[in-house]
Amino acid sequence: MGKEIIDIKKGAPAVGPYNHVVKANGFYFFSGQIPLDPKTGEMVGGGIEAETNQVLANIESLLSEIGKSKEDVVRCAIFLTDLNLFATVNQIYGDFFSSSYPARSCVQVAALPKGALVEIETTVAD
């Protein structure tokens, strides 16, 4: 089965040569989302809480565009520039997914695009 590029209308502009969503073999693969405001294309300010909320809002917007919901998310990978931020991100993430938690990994990285503190990539079941 080939891959299908999903045309996204509402997402923040890509900051590189990639697509926001690609469908293949019964799954949607979301590129990592950083805390960009889709209306302005600019990073949100306000620290890790504001950034995490924006990332999750961006994911929810992409889910909506493909007719899916949080319950269809099967895996997330979280990238943090500082694992000391983990407890805050974990709380916001847990509230976002409530009880239908996807599989997840979380790692610390040296840096993220545009100086983001957090990035989350997502895999969604069709």
Nearest to 58 by CA among 5, 126, 120, 100: 120
> Tens place of pLDDT for every residue, the chain, 126 residues?
689 999 888 888 888 899 999 999 999 999 999 999 999 999 999 999 999 999 999 999 999 999 999 999 999 999 999 999 999 999 999 999 988 899 999 999 999 999 999 999 999 999
6, 22 Cβ separation under 8 angstroms: yes
4, 20, 22, 71, 76 from 7: Cα distances, Å: 9, 8, 9, 22, 21
Domains held by the chain: number: 1
d(CA 46, CA 51): 7
Residue 52 domain boundaries: 4-125
Q: What is the CATH classification number for the domain harbouring 99?
A: 3.30.1330.40
